[in-house]
Structure 1
Amino acid sequence: MSLVTIQRPAVVPLPTVQVSAPRRWLFVLVAAVLLTQMAIAMITTAVRQTPTVDEPVYIGAAVVQLEQHSLRYNPEHPPLGKLIMATGLAFADVRFDPDFRGDQTEFGRHVLYESGNDPGALLLAARLPMIVLTLLFGLVVLLFATDVSNRSGGLVALALYGFSPDLIAHGSLATLDVAAAGFVLTSAWLSWRARTDPALYLPFAGLALGAALATKTNTLAAVPVVLALVAWQAGYRAAVGVLLAATTVVWISYVSVDSSAAFPQAYLDGIHLQLGLENRVWGGYLFGTHYEGSRWYYLPAALLVKTPLGALLLWAAGAAAMIGRPAAAYVLAPTAVLLAVAMTGSRDLGVRYAIFVPMFLAVAAAVVAHRRYAAIAVALVAASSLWTFPYYLPYSNEVFGGPSKTHLHLHDSNVDWGQDLGRLAERLKRYPGERTWLVYKGAGVPEHHGIHASDPREAPRDEVKGLLVVSNTAIAKADDLLRALVDTSTPIDVVGHSITIFRRP
């Protein structure tokens, strides 16, 4: 009987490119160029945008923390992020009425628009420290990714971070999302480094974790992940030490503002306020449908829309390649836990609630930097990011039509957060003498910018003639009255991809 030998087909590996680590001087030069372009993009954005919905509240709270050492405004968030903003406001000679009575929204408007201050100057003063902090987190991404791969991987990760439209958009605002996520990332990176030198790095990992907790309470979800990693590598005593260091940072952030602050009661009160917000019913908007409440898949869907295609490719490939490696516990586990918790939230208002995803997954992408497609994907990300300049907030990728179509899929801080009021004032100069009707979603004051308009919802429909100007978020959430006005008007212009100008005969 003859024997037949059956040969298995050869397994063809995925295309790879042997990428040698760049020389140190070239590594530093490329990193500096990437961070410089990000800085230019963020500063340009910060200068041109009027206040978004949340910024006056944070700026007002920062002013009171700085000038009156009081925690009475914005108690739902711990004070550290606002203290960072105050480092810029300290040079702005802010004027306000120390006896002002009103809620935090009213006080923010009072500081920006009613006290003789220059709103643009105050906004920039508060935004610049957050821009610097965002750039520093870029260095963390670079070093973290270099640690888990090599210098080439570090540069790929930094490129994804530096060209991310969401990180540019929110990193240039006086808000708390990027700061909180960046401190969590820093804690995870220092915990990774502590595997080789726990005595050196674990105390700093605890301080970074505390900084995250002292910025936003939603970072509490990261605590069990970081402590579990520390306990796994260095034992439970080390984990307790990290927790104590983190708690100390939170305590210091409160007493540095008000030495009589009752800690931890003030922090617990903030958590209680946040839970109250979560118990409210919020309106969402996804793929053209407005709904009440929340949808568990909202954040993954929104990330799919607002992430450059090249980044999505490298995120997926990097995450798959990292599974099974020790670094996965420090990169993928925090991302998964934080995203899972964020997906249970009741506020479907923007990818800013998952802004940690482009940070951590940029690090994951570093492990596939040697693949042939990596350079092409990074180039596509850069091209897409530069294409949307300077309109980063309303960015969406090419599959979903780009920034001009984002309002058809998403709303609120994904596209229209009130940032284009100043641009609207300039655009209306093209229509001199026309009656203007305005429905604006934002925290700016139209009259300050020379916009004198009436609310069309407060007038008989047949009197609403001329220019009808509507924020795209207001269109997405329009009631029957506003919907009827929009449907019987002709769109003639768009401002910043966030405000539509109609003409009514």
Structure 2
Amino acid sequence: MEKIKNYVSARKDFFTGLAVVLILLFMFALARSSSYGAFGDPGDSAIFDEIAHIPAGYTYVKDADYRLNPEHPPLVKSLAALPLVADKRIIGPEKDSSWPAIDQWGTGWYIIYQAGNNPKTVLGLSRLPMMLLMIFLGLFLFKWGRELFGRKVALVVLLLYAFYPDVLAHGRLVTTDVAAALGFTVATYCFTKVLKKISWKTIISAALALALAQLLKFSAILLFPIFLLLIFFKTFMNREKGKFWNNIWRYFKPFLLISILSVIFVWIVYVPFVRNTPPAVEHQLIETNLTDNPSTLGLRTFLHRFENNTILRGLGHYALGVFLVIGRVSGGNNTFIWGELSHKSIPYFFPLAWLLKTPIPIILLVFASVFAIILRWPKSKEKKWQLAIILTPIVVYWVVTLRGRLDIGIRHLMPTIPFVLLMIGYFIQPIINGGKKWQKTIIGLLVIYMMGSTLYNYPNFIAYFNEFTPKDQRYQRLVDSSLDWGQDLLRLKKYVDENNIKNIKVDYFGGSLPSYYIPQSTGWHSQNGPTSGWLAVSATFYQSSRLSGPEEGKWSYQWLDAFKPKAIIGGSILVFNISPEELEKNYPVSPYPITTIVAPTEDENNLIGL
């Protein structure tokens, strides 16, 4: 045994690198197989946002036209599109009527389901670059963790990351959430290098990293106040009598330069993507997305000044996207959590959602870390600075999130996850590197528990809830991208085929077409009223109908509470089989007046989660 220890110790860099590779390869295998299908599972169907992101990225790269999806920056979508553009068999949306109509959803339905492309090929190719971004974030997190805490702690942090269900859930989809976490992590790391040593090399690196973050997701604008706070903390910790403001200015100057350069870099990247966008289309985008509200007249007039110049159009398009995101966050969405519904926001949404969706070992380690930091606030400047770097992004992001109104999914907290894991790394460092055996055993058991919990929930990572929530009650806690984003239509098809179901009504929320995969399906909505036979309802519609139904005087799905689902597919689609006799015996009575009865229709749009 001693010889083995000595052998491993002498080659610790090799074995550390091997461990990192194996962990990340396993993470990639989990993401790829659960997305594409393996072990008898058909994989994930297209989720809601992919319908807009995939055609947008395709036309950015192929046509240099940015008419689709301006509310998100181009980098994630363009990376997802590279394999599609390289595959000459893929037919784009340019010849469909949705293209001149600037219909981002229509172009998505066309390129995936109507143009003759294989949906599995389109989704498989476009999701692959997203998984590589997820792996790169893991690699970078290990690198930073090793610099801060050493290789052993960094490996534990990497393991927690690799088996984090929310990362696995969203890192395999054409969405911007894990990419945003990557941008926040890399940009913050590079900025701290500037504060350590101001040089042109560190300034340019930080500017490029900040530009990268802004090109991945517009929420990166929060990095500007985060960096300012880090400047203040750095100056305060190294304060000298009479030189406080001089030192503030010393760090503020490179921050200002980094900020300006980052916007220039973003502008440069935007230019080729908007090069062929017709000025008339750019004009329409501004008017349509900002509406004709008099309060936006000045902004619209300002943005119109950029639309006729090929070079300036990139800067104007970037500004349009930022304003759209700010408007959306302040405007809000329909929100549901634990039985409460709202058109705007629910103040406790994110804290409660975090407790429901976060693995129990992470919750325990986070609370232990917070208590340890409070009880044993470090005395050394180095440790204080480590905490400032780790905690500032978490606190700022949570404060802004709680004040916003976009309570639609726990995924919006994704940029905080790397910093939360680094905070855990800070806490476990003295334990891993010199703690008592029982302390190390507890850490090991928590890591093993998390790995087992994640694997037990394979492949349903979007629908992951920790063990505090029974599996058959998840749809009563959260919906939308925290549970039901449209990922389970292929699993519903498998259930229908295995049970030889000849006719089924489907009310589906997501990015797929039930009639494409399940020809025997019929479109249905809550407003069509009570019905018998086989009925499949997405959890999001099941709950949101309780808000829209009473307001519009139409039926909601509240009547289904009297019937037990035959199955819950992947956690997100409730399947009922109600006999005519059951329905007649317990015919539903609405708790509010029904003033409008809507007859079912065969219109294909009724099968779309829009």
Q: TM-score, normalised by structure 2?
A: 0.75
Aligned to 1:422: 490
The answer to whether 1:468 aligns with 2:545 is no
Q: What is the aligned-residue identity percentage?
A: 26
CA contact (8 A) 1:394 1:416 kept: yes
More helix by share: 2
Cα distance change of structure 1 residues 228 and 203 upon mapping to structure 2, 3 Å threshold: farther
CA contact (8 A) 1:227 1:243 kept: no
Moved more, 360-369 or 63-72: 360-369
Secondary structure, counterpart of 2:521 in structure 1 = coil
Please list the CA deviations of residues 141-162 of structure 1 after superposition, one character each: whole Å capped at 9, or x if unmatched: 1111122211111111111111
Query: 1:163, 1:65 → 2: CA distance?
Result: 33
Secondary structure, counterpart of 2:86 in structure 1 = coil
Cα distance change of structure 1 residues 198 and 318 upon mapping to structure 2, 3 Å threshold: farther
Aligned to 1:478: 545
Aligned to 1:455: 523
Aligned to 2:73: 78
The answer to whether 1:352 aligns with 2:421 is no
CA contact (8 A) 1:85 1:174 kept: yes
Secondary structure, counterpart of 1:290 in structure 2 = strand
The answer to whether 1:390 aligns with 2:379 is no
The answer to whether 1:33 aligns with 2:36 is no
Q: CA deviation at 1:386?
A: 1.2
| 1:281-300 map, 5 Å | 281-300=332-351
The answer to whether 1:242 aligns with 2:258 is yes
Aligned to 2:60: 65
Moved more, 389-398 or 313-322: 313-322
Moved more, 275-284 or 427-436: 275-284
Q: CA deviation at 1:482?
A: 3.6
Cα distance change of structure 1 residues 366 and 459 upon mapping to structure 2, 3 Å threshold: closer
Secondary structure, counterpart of 1:467 in structure 2 = strand
Q: CA deviation at 1:279?
A: 4.5
CA contact (8 A) 1:180 1:211 kept: no
CA contact (8 A) 1:181 1:219 kept: no
CA contact (8 A) 1:21 1:150 kept: no
Q: CA deviation at 1:86?
A: 2.1
Aligned to 1:184: 184
Cα distance change of structure 1 residues 416 and 457 upon mapping to structure 2, 3 Å threshold: closer
Query: 1:460, 1:316 → 2: CA distance?
Result: 47
Aligned to 1:8: none
Secondary structure, counterpart of 1:49 in structure 2 = coil
Query: 1:340, 1:451 → 2: CA distance?
Result: 47
Q: CA deviation at 1:377?
A: 1.8
Please list the CA deviations of residues 291-313 of structure 1 after superposition, one character each: whole Å capped at 9, or x if unmatched: 33102321121111111111112
1:336 pairs, out of 379, 395, 417, with: 395
Please list the CA deviations of residues 365-419 of structure 1 after superposition, one character each: whole Å capped at 9, or x if unmatched: 1123343132222122111111111110010111223x54322211100011000
User: AA paired with 2:176?
Assistant: L
CA contact (8 A) 1:309 1:397 kept: yes
CA contact (8 A) 1:471 1:498 kept: yes
Query: 1:62, 1:214 → 2: CA distance?
Result: 13
Moved more, 247-256 or 384-393: 247-256
User: AA paired with 1:241?
Assistant: L
Q: CA deviation at 1:458?
A: 7.8
User: AA paired with 1:225?
Assistant: I
Moved more, 20-29 or 324-333: 20-29
Aligned to 1:399: 468
Query: 2:128, 2:150 → 1: CA distance?
Result: 31
Please list the CA deviations of residues 258-281 of structure 1 after superposition, one character each: whole Å capped at 9, or x if unmatched: 342524321221122223323545
CA contact (8 A) 2:72 2:218 kept: yes
Aligned to 2:109: 109
Query: 2:543, 2:11 → 1: CA distance?
Result: 48
CA contact (8 A) 2:230 2:392 kept: no
The answer to whether 1:313 aligns with 2:372 is no
Aligned to 2:204: 203
Aligned to 1:374: 443
Q: TM-score, normalised by structure 1?
A: 0.90
Query: 1:320, 1:326 → 2: CA distance?
Result: 18
Aligned to 2:297: none
Q: CA deviation at 1:80?
A: 1.6
| 1:73-152 map, 5 Å | 73-93=68-88, 94-100=90-96, 101=98, 102=101, 103-152=103-152
CA contact (8 A) 2:176 2:217 kept: yes
The structure 1 segments of at least 4 consecutive aligned residues displaced by more than 6 Å after TM superposition are: none
Cα distance change of structure 1 residues 214 and 459 upon mapping to structure 2, 3 Å threshold: closer
Aligned to 2:288: none
Cα distance change of structure 1 residues 99 and 294 upon mapping to structure 2, 3 Å threshold: same
The answer to whether 1:302 aligns with 2:353 is yes
Query: 2:265, 2:10 → 1: CA distance?
Result: 38
Secondary structure, counterpart of 1:454 in structure 2 = strand
Secondary structure, counterpart of 1:264 in structure 2 = helix
Cα distance change of structure 1 residues 321 and 88 upon mapping to structure 2, 3 Å threshold: farther
Secondary structure, counterpart of 1:88 in structure 2 = helix
Secondary structure, counterpart of 2:319 in structure 1 = helix
User: AA paired with 1:391?
Assistant: N
- Pairwise CA RMSD: 2.3
Query: 1:144, 1:126 → 2: CA distance?
Result: 29
Cα distance change of structure 1 residues 431 and 253 upon mapping to structure 2, 3 Å threshold: same
Secondary structure, counterpart of 2:345 in structure 1 = coil
CA contact (8 A) 1:85 1:130 kept: yes
Larger radius of gyration: 2
Please list the CA deviations of residues 42-63 of structure 1 after superposition, one character each: whole Å capped at 9, or x if unmatched: 1112211111100110001001
Q: CA deviation at 1:90?
A: 2.6
CA contact (8 A) 1:318 1:361 kept: no
Query: 1:92, 1:46 → 2: CA distance?
Result: 20
The answer to whether 1:272 aligns with 2:323 is yes
Aligned to 1:174: 174
CA contact (8 A) 2:24 2:162 kept: yes
Secondary structure, counterpart of 1:235 in structure 2 = helix
Aligned to 2:586: none
Query: 1:156, 1:195 → 2: CA distance?
Result: 28
Query: 2:13, 2:93 → 1: CA distance?
Result: 54
Query: 2:341, 2:62 → 1: CA distance?
Result: 42
**Higher RCO structure, 1 or 2 (CA under 8 Å, sep 6+):** 1
Query: 1:504, 1:357 → 2: CA distance?
Result: 44
Give the paired residue count: 484
Aligned to 2:227: 226
Q: CA deviation at 1:213?
A: 1.0
